[in-house]
Structure formats: C-alpha cells, structure tokens
Amino acid sequence: MLLSSSFFSRFSLRSRFIALIATLVFATTLLLGWVASGQTADQMEADIGDAASEAAYQMVDKLDRSMDARIKEVKLLLAMQALTNDTSPNVLREQLERLQDNHSVVSWIGFTDPQGIVQAATGGILEGVSIAHRPVFIEGEQQLWIGDVHEAVLLAQLLPNPTGEALKFVDIATPVHDRSGELRGVLAVHLSWQWAEYVQDTMLSPASQQLGADMLLLAEDGTVLLGPQTLLGQPLDSLVKLPSPGDTAPQWAIETWPNGERYVTGYARSSGFEDFPGLGWIAVSRQPIGAAFAPVEKLQTAIMGAGLLLALLLAVIGWVIASRMVAPLTRLSHAADQIQDGEGADCIPLESGSPEMKRLSISLRNMVGRLLDQRQTINRLEDLANTDPLTGLPNRAFLTHYLQLAVPEAERNQQSMAVIFIDLDGFKQVNDELGHHAGDLLLIEITQRLKSALRSGDVVARLGGDEFVMVLKTKQAHLKMLTHDISQRLLSSINQPVALPDDQWGCVSCSLGAAWWPHHGLHISTVLQLADDALYAAKSRGKHQLVIHTPNH
C-alpha cells in the first residue's frame, strides 16, 4: 500500500486526472464493446445456427415433396388400362418406358403377376424373373408401400452405371386390382438415389462449399445415407442433439463430430408431405465452427477496434480538458510555495476561469491571511512562553524542550554536553541595599556578560531569581578543558562591578557547579541534578569557584 501511494505521488494531478479519464473511458468502452459484441455475437451465432437448421429443413422438405410427387405419379399409373386388361407385355413395356423417359429419377418400372413374376419392365430387365421374395412384392401386394434407401440387388448388374458406384434406390410399390377387386399383380418403381444427390447439391452455394459446409441425409436410425464418402453407411449416434423420432422442428447445435472437429450443425427430421408419410429421414447441415463464426469474430474485432480508437480520442480530449482544469490549481500551488518562502497572501492569484476556482482563490487568500496572522501571534506567544521577560534569556520551559532535542542530536553527532549551573553571590545584598530596580539592572548586565562568554551554538537560560544554567556541546575529549575555560571567563567577568543609576555600583560574584553528559549520567535529568548538587558544594566551600561533579568510586 505504501509503495503504491509513493508511486502515484510522483505524478502530477494533471497526469492522474488524464490517467483516470483514460482508464474510465477505456474501461467503459471495453465494457460497452464487450456487451455489444457479446449481444451481437450471440444474435449472429443464433442467426447462423438458424440458417443451418433452415438449410436442413429446406433439404428435407424438397425430398419430401419430391417423394410425394413420385407417389402421385405411381397412383396415376394405376389408371393405365394396360395394367388391368390382358394387354401384351410388349405394349405394357412400351407404355412403362414412355413414362420412364419423362422422369429421369425413375430407374426401373416393372409389373408382376399375382405370383411375383415380372410380366413387363422397362428395358425388358428382369422380365420372367420372380421377385416374390423381395420386399417390393411382399409389401406391395398388401398396400401402397414406400421402401427406404437400399442398394440394388437384382438390378445392380443390369442397369447402366457410368459412375461405377453402388446403385441405390428408393422403392415404391402398390397392388393392382381389376374391376372385380381381384389382385392382378404388383406395380414396382425403383427411384434412383441420384435425385437426392441433386437436391443436396442445390442446397449449398459455391461459397458455402469453399468454407467447408456439408449437407447430409441420415436414415431414421442415424445412418448416413447421403454425405461425404467417408461417412456413408456410418451411424452418427454420437451426435448429442440428433432429433428423436417425432421431433420434426428444425434445430441447431454446436456438435463434436467423429473426426473430433466441432461444427455448427443444423437438423430437420422428415415429417412427410401429403401422400408421402415420410421415412424418418434427417437432413443435416454442418459447417466448421471456425468458418461459420468467422463473421462473428470479425464483428467483435471491429467493435473492439472502434472502442479502442474512441478511448484514445476521448483520452486526448480528456488531456486537453484536464490541462485547462489543472492550470489554475498549478498557479495556486506555485503561490503556496511563494507563501512558504515568506511572501504574503497577495501572491495568490484571483482565478476567474470558473465560479468554483474564483471562490477557491478568494477563500485561499482569506485563509492564508488569517493563518499568517495567527502564526505571528503564535510566534509571539511562544517567545513569551519560552523567554524570561526581564533578561530576554530562554527560561526553564525552553531549556526543558531544548534538552529533549539536544540529547538525540548529540548522540547522532557523537558529542557530549557540559551542564554548568550558575548562582550569583551577593545578589540579595544588592537588592536589599539598592532596591529591586537596581537588582533588575544588575541582572540585565550579568546576562550580557553570560552571553559574551558563550560560543556559537551554546545555550544559557535563567532558571529564576539569580540562578542560571549553561549547556555546552563538544567532543568528550574536550569536556574538561571547555568547562574550565568557560568557568574562568564567568568567574572573571561576573566579578567585575556593575555601574547602576545615581552613581552606584553593584558587586556580585558567582558560584559554579558542573556535570557532564553522558560521562556522569545517561539521562539528562540526572546530569542536571548532579550539576545542581555541585553548585551547592561550591557555595559550601566558600563560593566564587567551580566544582565539577566527581563520581563516587
């Protein structure tokens, strides 16, 4: 916390203000950009997913409608008289081939007798062959039947196959009855699966194909009927969102496919159309998530880029505004420095740039003026509190405060101190004989003599009456010599007569008691007491002499 405070204290208010504006603008822009891009991205992702599900729905709807059209065509075939009359196979074959030529998706049409033997077929294929055990006859003799996609069994080697791939068909079969209701046979139609591939190709634009989009068709059990070659015939039961039977609503999800890649996947299950009841086919539209959501990433990048540019622009504007706002404060700060250097309150400029700055500058002027007046008053009071009113010397209060600061300073400078107590001998006699006024004048003169005996940096204070104390700082090796030297000066100068009014003279001498810190005591209060005791010893030994405290060994 202290490091952080120290770090920020290095910067000016303008820099902090600019940094604050830039940070707030950047954070706000980033937040708004994040929210906007997030909302837009969610909407775009939903739109992309809906487009995928819509593509799947369109594909399965086209397949359903195409199958319905084929079923209606088969129902129209039932109206052919050739199916219900004893028409020769050649005539029936010609009619069936004529119908096949009009519908490219029809690979084979055949008509069987009630025993399942093909009587007539397009191209004469399988004529005379029994298909009684094939589902197309077994189911077709009962009712209209639609068979799911399957590979050719009997027709694989008989029908033309230019691609060489396995032929697949969707079967439609229906019973044929005569007017009396007797079964005449079964009409079987094989629809080529190529029509579904054509529908698949029409669902994807070239641009979508370049981005890796695929259209697949799954059987009801999830097996791939139509799609990439590597997936044909494989079950896709690993897809989590694969629609369940009966769930025909288009939907989409982000799925992980068997190859481990993630795709935006749209689903739509066949619900049939009119005469086509549906076979449960599931159309699937998929696109790699990176390619599908590339527009989302571009939009997010654009939004964040615009946000950063906006933040930079607003930061520059904030810098200009901050400079103008801080300029008056800078001038007021400079004025405060001038006041600290001793100038008056008049140096504070009157700012008129804004009502707030004007009020602030006026208030500062008034406040500084009052503070300077109070400071002068406090200084006068401090002088009175720490000064003896008669002699002008520091008093006991000042001495106590001075020693509290002098001891640590002496310790840092590796110095010692000599404390000398001074008491005037014969002062009471002067007071009694010449009066208190003469005594006061005597004390004033003695004060001047005490000051003249001091070195620069030494202190002398009046404790009261005719008692004074000196504090001398020096190296420990010089303590004894300094104490004796100063004492001799005092004994000599104070002993000189003092001229008083009315041609009177006052004569006094002095007794001195000294002790050294820290030689005689670690605490300054102890040294003061020892010096006082030494003073009384000097008086008891005849006065007008110096006694230095001698420790008892």
101 a catalytic residue:
no
- Strands 546-548 and 509-517, sheet pairing: parallel
Report the residue count for the chain: 553
Mapped onto helix, strand or coil, the DSSP state of residue 104 is: coil
Q: Are strands 145-151 and 224-226 parallel, antiparallel or unpaired?
A: unpaired
At 113, phi and psi to the nearest 5? -85, 180
Helix/strand/coil for 275:
coil
Other CB atoms within a 10 A radius of the CB of residue 523 amount to 11
Sorted by sequence, the CB contacts under 8 Å of residue 169 that are 6+ apart come out as 107, 147, 149, 150, 151, 152, 155, 190, 191, 192, 193
Query: What CA–CA distance (Å, rounded) separates 302 from 159?
Result: 57
Catalytic residue chosen out of the listed positions 466, 485, 502, 532: 466
Name the residue with tokens 């041609």.
503
Q: Tokens at residue 477, please?
A: 């090796």
Q: Are 331 and 365 in contact (CB under 8 A)?
A: no
Pairing mode, if any, of strands 509-517 and 214-218? unpaired
Which residue in the block uniquely carries the two structure tokens 């990048």? 301
* Coil, strand or helix at 16: helix
Listed residue (170, 92, 177, 113) closest to 143, CA to CA:
177
Count how many Cα atoms sit within 13 Å of the Cα of residue 113 in the half-sphere of its side chain: 11
**Residues marked as catalytic:** 466
